[in-house]
Structure 1
């Protein structure tokens, strides 16, 4: 080898020695060279008060504030995703992703990093009329973690349409794409977090809660969302809401702040609410929970918002286990293979990309204590699973998939070219890919519909400190799989109610201003409670239905009417059958012996005028059985009463006629002749029947004959089916006329008690009329005392018995004489009886 060659090799060797440390320095935790750079904004330190340095113009030094272990953990997730894509993925073959990461210290340092990312490599941000051809230092930005910083940064990035994918900011303001067109996120919005929280409380029937919020936009916005949600449902009430004091960066409370904190704790100690919802960054809660421990609070269910639900530092306050049960809302658990080892790996680098070696540094890109602090919490982070970590991981992959489409990548290479942020933004909106088994895409508001988990804090060794107990789906808006909750009250769900739930069928009467505070009152019989419609008023049952006390539904009233299987119906039916067949037999006997003296003395043709209505009435008894109809009501009110009136009129006129023949014919011959000449008996029967018909028609006209139901006054569960409301009044009126005819018939029969035996029907008529009068009086008395089906039974029974009294009492003896004493049914025998009566009188 020549001298020149040896000299050239030596120079190359020295160049390699002197340039390698510089290259290693470039590839730190905060810098990685690449063809395309991603900006990363993370809170490695936090100053929740966001102190404005009005006395000097310097960017805040984040490392002067308290460190956030979760912030560094999330930053490592971004680094891991970038290196995984560069080294093990076919997503961007031949293209190297790089990153620039800046600590925003929660709120204090978010403007400077945004401008830093927008500037070009020479730190120059030109003022142009058209930025469509402008290429900033980064192609997209991941983060930051909270809504206030995200909104501030997005106001800058959106002007340049630089894609921004946040992994933890949940404010609903960010859904406004007119204001934030370049902002997307890999977490559900605050509305879904609040809905999951509300459904959790509804599941455990907690309706009396306390809300504590931080004095910043995060606390105010989330508490407002919760208040609106519970006001709409009226199922949850807020006992009181307080704003927690925001400590200085040194975490030292001023006297005024300490007094305010003591006031909050005093109210919390005195309230009956046992569920406390806390919307606050974790740093605000350090002093609060230290005071809670100092006062020995117990028996409280703490519900954590996503900002501190899985914070390992707060969880490290192990004495908190004695204050109650801790539940929280956070993103779903998703383990990322290889990340746990990467998290505690010291920074190292590979060779930078040749065309991106001029890497610069800005403020807040250092964290000397981050790695050691993360290592101390490594076991907790491993056991808890990767939750928000997956949101960062998926955000990086979303940008990578958009680059894949924009660079027209295939399995081996990509078309490396200069890209503009607005081009990449369009592709990010369209990504749809699978990552570790999850299908990921952005909805119309720029959100990824990731599931949320309800977690419980556990403090057991070698145990997941944030155990999942439920899952909430933003797409279905439903909470599922609640189990394995370990309460501070053994084997009992804690109770947090202003008033205990009312029992079934009890209405609520509000007490005070809160709808959750109420007294319970029973719904009386005849009403029911429909909680889905109105839980404050009992609703009346429909007229055809009824309910018992404390009912939630009504049932059909029992219909009351005569039925065939009932004993009274069977007895009356047997009597009616007896009357029908006996009357039919009498009709046949009288028709066969029509010309005999016995039949003629009984009334002759008028006997058939009585027997036919009797036969018809006995045959129509079934109209009283079963539910009434228009036809059966008509038969009850018209047919039966007319048939019975015809029979009574015939008996009355028959008894009058016998007296006229033997007592008045000789004394008033002209009157008797007039009576016989103009068919007086039939005229009287027709006149009586006409009067009864007019009464029946008048009763029908004044009240409908349609069947109707009315409530039994003695038992409202029963509906009495009757023909019309004035059924009893009409029945009493009809019965009164029948009673009058019975009295008149009885009087004439009594006057003729001394007549000849064959013509002397007084005892039979007297018996029939006495029974008819007595039964009518009994029926009227019974109707004045009782109501319902008993009146129908008594009406039918009395009607059948009256018909039997006429049939058997009046016609029975005559049939007996015709059949068994035919020698007495001759004209000679009747003449001898009349002569004997005349001789006795003379």
Structure 2
């Protein structure tokens, strides 16, 4: 691999515009009598060559006796000195001192000028070194090139200001650019110096917080220190990487070598993101449009604007105009490949002599850019910011842009984003496509202006795994970065409404997931209403059975003096028919939207009314047994056949159930509630029973009455009675117990309105069983067989039964 032998000269040519921008700004200010009345600005140029020793010597010289004249402009009386520390390669011939030129710190024997500020330096190391020395004398320092975030620390650098933004804004902008295109799988190459390590530390944290992964991270040193193994490693990473985006951080000196290296690699399908530290125009020119691996790259650059009349000034610059500028004479020889007159250079045979009237606009852009570069623009603003109190500086420069410093001494400068394109004539041009402002918080980008590589098309992708669509969530693959994942459908009841969600979210109680599980939709209210077929059928049945009970009650009242009505205590028959009618009607409390009053009444009314019915059935059964035994001579049970005894028994049994209901309502009464989990897509409006124990106590008590009635009726089913109800009561209790025995498992296995429907059906079925089994045979005789409803028939049947016993 070939390395340019004139690299040091190339760097001088590229950076000399910074010095000329400084001179231009000073001359412009000295011509403005309104801005600085009765004051002239002069300056002294120092170069440190990125050498800490020279930087230290230059800073000491600034604070000490000066025995040589300014480099370019003479210092008039009462002038302010600007000490511009220029970072460039070391050329010992530029500055020479005799032994008598000694520097004594903080000692000045000439009072003709006054130090206003120091502008410099280009690198963070040089800037920090100067600041540590200058702050002891409280000399303001304006940095024009270093964007190291540490320089924002006003405790450590109280007199340091800078006209470039902090790197933190650039790092934030890089992350926002990556997220803008949803590039989550990238490669990273950085320089193996302190700045590179700081960059990697900051970027790794930002990438991790924003879900961006690095397929590879390469540390790059200067090419002369690169081992063969490292070169092969870089080649493998760049060619075999599945990531289509690679982030570069480093200076032009590093990327110059990397650009030459990557030209020989199969990397033309990659997109490069370049930080502001690199100068694209300093790299080698491509042989053909598609041979430059950085075509279509996106680069960050410190914002700049064209300085008015600066190009005219550059066209007028030559060594004849500034005969005392030693640096210009060396630049001139390098830039125009000519020999300056002695003592600035040694004549070389065959090499032309410089006329010193060559024009800078005749040089190629790779040697000297006639357009304002960002460092020059930053220096220009630094000169215009001179003030005793820099914190109060706020002005509009000649380019029409506002310049001021924030509380950390940082400029409000921003970063621009450029898209680099190789034209058919093999020239490399840039187009501004976006930028970041306000410390990186405001990001803007114009897709329409970007020209991507042809093989990548519009909006190239750089991901490890395909995005998970809404309705799915990401699940990390074991042993791989977090950007490599598989997609799993959200569980029932959960949704994900964005792509690449790490987890699914549970819908609120009154919402449920749609079929795609990508949004929550309101649940429908569910309760057993009178508007649906099931509610209509149950309500119609309740009314029909209640009317039937009323008809039977009317029939019994009409034939109250007939033997069949009088045979088994007609008062108990009236009570039973009335309670059954109410049993049918109480089922209507279970239909309709649950409210506080219906929730309080439905179970208590059901339990109390059914207890009356069962107690009445039990009293009728006991009456049959007592009536048969009372016919035997000498039996004392006749007194229990009085109606008052039967009525008291019914009342006692009913009061026990009423007591249970009172305790229930007094401790934990039922209340309207809703169930959002039982049925997906529905909010079930229901009555919460409050105390489940009390509810089952009511059922248990009714079960006890039914069991006792069934037992007594079963034992008395064969007693000789023409109108013996025992066998009908036995069958009715069998039906009743069967219905409620099947009710419990059915009730517990259903949800929502169907659970309510099960209870209503059990109420109607058990009540209809009692009504039909006990009263239908009697109504059949009353209405259709009146011949059997006589005392003679009753006496005949009774005698026949006694003879059989």
**TM norm structure 1:** 0.73
Aligned equivalent of 1:390, options 377, 388, 396: 377
Aligned equivalent of 1:347, options 308, 318, 322: 318
> Closer, same or farther in 2 for the Cα pair 1:84/1:588, shift >3 Å?
farther
Q: Does 1:506 align with 2:473?
A: yes
> Closer, same or farther in 2 for the Cα pair 1:751/1:790, shift >3 Å?
farther
Contact 2:66/2:103 (<8 A) preserved: no
Q: Does 1:237 align with 2:213?
A: yes
Q: Does 1:85 align with 2:49?
A: no
> Closer, same or farther in 2 for the Cα pair 1:593/1:433, shift >3 Å?
farther
Give 2:300's aligned residue. 329
Give 1:66's aligned residue. 10
Contact 2:512/2:520 (<8 A) preserved: yes
Counterparts of 1:387 and 1:806 in 2: how far apart (Å)?
101
State the SS of the aligned residue for 1:210: strand
Q: Deviations over 1:495-521 (max 9, x none)?
A: 333444444441433633744344544
Give 2:350's aligned residue. none
Q: How many residues align?
A: 736
> Closer, same or farther in 2 for the Cα pair 1:800/1:370, shift >3 Å?
same
Give 1:246's aligned residue. 222
Aligned equivalent of 2:534, options 547, 553, 568: 568
Counterparts of 1:134 and 1:563 in 2: how far apart (Å)?
103
TM-superposed deviation, 1:445: 1.5
Counterparts of 2:66 and 2:179 in 1: how far apart (Å)?
54
> Closer, same or farther in 2 for the Cα pair 1:601/1:324, shift >3 Å?
farther
Counterparts of 1:245 and 1:128 in 2: how far apart (Å)?
38
Q: Does 1:376 align with 2:366?
A: no
TM-superposed deviation, 1:221: 2.9
State the SS of the aligned residue for 2:267: coil
Counterparts of 2:291 and 2:164 in 1: how far apart (Å)?
28
Give 1:122's aligned residue. 67
Give 1:29's aligned residue. none
State the SS of the aligned residue for 2:589: helix
Counterparts of 1:452 and 1:360 in 2: how far apart (Å)?
37
Counterparts of 1:444 and 1:454 in 2: how far apart (Å)?
26
Contact 1:330/1:453 (<8 A) preserved: yes
Counterparts of 2:573 and 2:112 in 1: how far apart (Å)?
125
State the SS of the aligned residue for 1:466: strand
Counterparts of 2:298 and 2:736 in 1: how far apart (Å)?
86
Q: Does 1:798 align with 2:797?
A: no
Give 1:39's aligned residue. none
Contact 2:168/2:440 (<8 A) preserved: no
State the SS of the aligned residue for 1:445: coil
Contact 1:344/1:375 (<8 A) preserved: no
> Closer, same or farther in 2 for the Cα pair 1:711/1:361, shift >3 Å?
closer
Q: Deviations over 1:511-556 (max 9, x none)?
A: 3374434454444335567999x97666777888766899577777
Answer with 336-345 or 702-711: which moved more: 702-711
Give 2:252's aligned residue. 282
State the SS of the aligned residue for 1:202: helix
Counterparts of 1:709 and 1:581 in 2: how far apart (Å)?
34
Counterparts of 2:647 and 2:451 in 1: how far apart (Å)?
99
> Closer, same or farther in 2 for the Cα pair 1:610/1:382, shift >3 Å?
farther
Give 1:449's aligned residue. 412
> Closer, same or farther in 2 for the Cα pair 1:301/1:792, shift >3 Å?
same
TM-superposed deviation, 1:128: 6.5
Please give the root-mean-square deviation of Cα atoms over the aligned residues, in Å: 4.9
Where structure 2 has 5 or more consecutive residues not aligned to the other structure, the ranges are 69-100, 337-358
TM-superposed deviation, 1:621: 2.5
Give 2:718's aligned residue. 751
> Closer, same or farther in 2 for the Cα pair 1:794/1:64, shift >3 Å?
closer
Q: Does 1:516 align with 2:516?
A: no
Q: Does 1:269 align with 2:239?
A: yes
State the SS of the aligned residue for 2:247: strand
Counterparts of 1:834 and 1:211 in 2: how far apart (Å)?
110
Answer with 669-678 or 203-212: which moved more: 669-678
Give 1:433's aligned residue. 395
Contact 1:139/1:163 (<8 A) preserved: yes
Q: Does 1:204 align with 2:181?
A: yes
State the SS of the aligned residue for 1:479: strand
State the SS of the aligned residue for 1:225: helix
Counterparts of 1:751 and 1:363 in 2: how far apart (Å)?
136
Q: Deviations over 1:686-707 (max 9, x none)?
A: 5654676688799999998567
Counterparts of 2:360 and 2:320 in 1: how far apart (Å)?
22
Aligned equivalent of 1:162, options 135, 139, 144: 139
Counterparts of 1:809 and 1:133 in 2: how far apart (Å)?
132
Contact 1:529/1:551 (<8 A) preserved: yes
Contact 1:545/1:557 (<8 A) preserved: yes
State the SS of the aligned residue for 1:344: helix
Aligned equivalent of 2:204, options 227, 231, 239: 227
> Closer, same or farther in 2 for the Cα pair 1:344/1:158, shift >3 Å?
farther
Give 2:434's aligned residue. 470
**TM norm structure 2:** 0.76
Larger RCO, structures 1/2 (Cα 8 Å, 6+ apart): 1
Counterparts of 2:109 and 2:393 in 1: how far apart (Å)?
22
Q: Deviations over 1:813-837 (max 9, x none)?
A: 878999x899999xxx854554565
Aligned equivalent of 1:146, options 112, 123, 127: 123
TM-superposed deviation, 1:430: 1.3
State the SS of the aligned residue for 2:422: coil
TM-superposed deviation, 1:173: 2.6
Contact 2:710/2:730 (<8 A) preserved: no
Q: Deviations over 1:608-662 (max 9, x none)?
A: 432443344344323313465676555444431332232233234335535654x
Contact 2:65/2:105 (<8 A) preserved: no
Q: Deviations over 1:372-428 (max 9, x none)?
A: 6764335998897754443222222212xx3xxxxxxxxxxxxxxxxxxxxx3x2x3
Q: Does 1:487 align with 2:452?
A: yes
TM-superposed deviation, 1:745: 7.3
Give 1:496's aligned residue. 462
Give 1:604's aligned residue. 570
Counterparts of 2:292 and 2:587 in 1: how far apart (Å)?
84
TM-superposed deviation, 1:457: 0.9
Contact 1:384/1:466 (<8 A) preserved: no
TM-superposed deviation, 1:308: 0.9
Contact 2:421/2:428 (<8 A) preserved: yes
TM-superposed deviation, 1:286: 1.8
> Closer, same or farther in 2 for the Cα pair 1:749/1:711, shift >3 Å?
farther
Give 1:54's aligned residue. none
TM-superposed deviation, 1:68: 4.5
> Closer, same or farther in 2 for the Cα pair 1:141/1:469, shift >3 Å?
same
Contact 1:441/1:448 (<8 A) preserved: yes
> Closer, same or farther in 2 for the Cα pair 1:437/1:651, shift >3 Å?
same
State the SS of the aligned residue for 1:297: coil
